[in-house]
Amino acid sequence: MRPHPAAITVFVAVVWVIGVLLATSSLHGTGARDVGVRASGPEGPSVAELAEGLCAPTVSNPGGTNNYVPKAPFTDPLGQGFTVTGTVRDEACRPLPGVRVQVWAQTATASEQRNRTSVRTDAQGRYRVDSDPLVAQFGEPNVHVGYDDPGPWRRVFLRNVTRDGDTGAQVDLVLSP
């Protein structure tokens, strides 16, 4: 028995739409931004914002909590070949020292569920996590960065897109009360 021509047309159309959505998923619904080292993604507050002392708070994106696990252990490094860096600030653009930041990502050697760590920011509010290179998951390599400690700041979860071959990502956070 042969499939009906309309069924074949619908099937091909659905596969095509899914392919386009996966290929452009950073533009469709995840809220993710391209933050790879070759990207022009968010690089933190501008010079003007820093001078004015008014930094816009980071807003969580819809894919940010995917595969999140509370209180990820402090494990460093996770590998080598890819580095996630950033600075954590408050809305007055002041660096926040001692803030726990979580990072997780899919690599060739570990899944998002296993390739995760927490780090604390240094005296200048900076953090760094070394990992094995990222691999595509659902169409694109990506890294998650989150803040969820109890205290005066709101939780923030980001899913950040990189590109094949990127060696790092810069993900800055501005926390708000």
3 state DSSP class of 93: coil
- Residue length of the chain: 177
Q: What is the pLDDT of residue 95?
A: 96
pLDDT at 25: 47
Q: According to the model, what pLDDT value does residue 26 have?
A: 43
**Phi-psi region at 153: left, alpha or beta (left = phi > 0; alpha = psi -120 to 50):** beta
16-31: average pLDDT: 50
Edge-to-edge strand list for the sheet holding 142-147: 33-34, 156-161, 142-147, 100-105, 116-120
Q: What are the φ and ψ backbone dihedral angles of 96, each rounded to 5 degrees?
A: -110, 105
Instruction: Please give the single-letter amino acid code of residue 163.
Output: R
pLDDT tens, position by position, 45-70: 666 666 677 899 999 988 888 888 88
Q: Please tell me which residue, 8 or 122, carries the higher pLDDT value.
A: 122
Q: CA dist 153 to 43, 91, 119, Å?
A: 21, 10, 17
Determine the pLDDT at residue 19: 57
pLDDT of residue 76 exceeding 80: no
DSSP state letter for 91 = T
pLDDT (0 to 100) of residue 5: 76
pLDDT tens digit sequence for 82-99: 999 999 999 999 999 999
- As beta bridge partners, residue 144 has 104, 159
Place of tokens 């309309």: 6
| Pairing outcome for strands 100-105 and 173-175 | unpaired
pLDDT higher for 69 or 146? 146
Range name among 10-19, 81-90, 138-147 with the lowest pLDDT average: 10-19
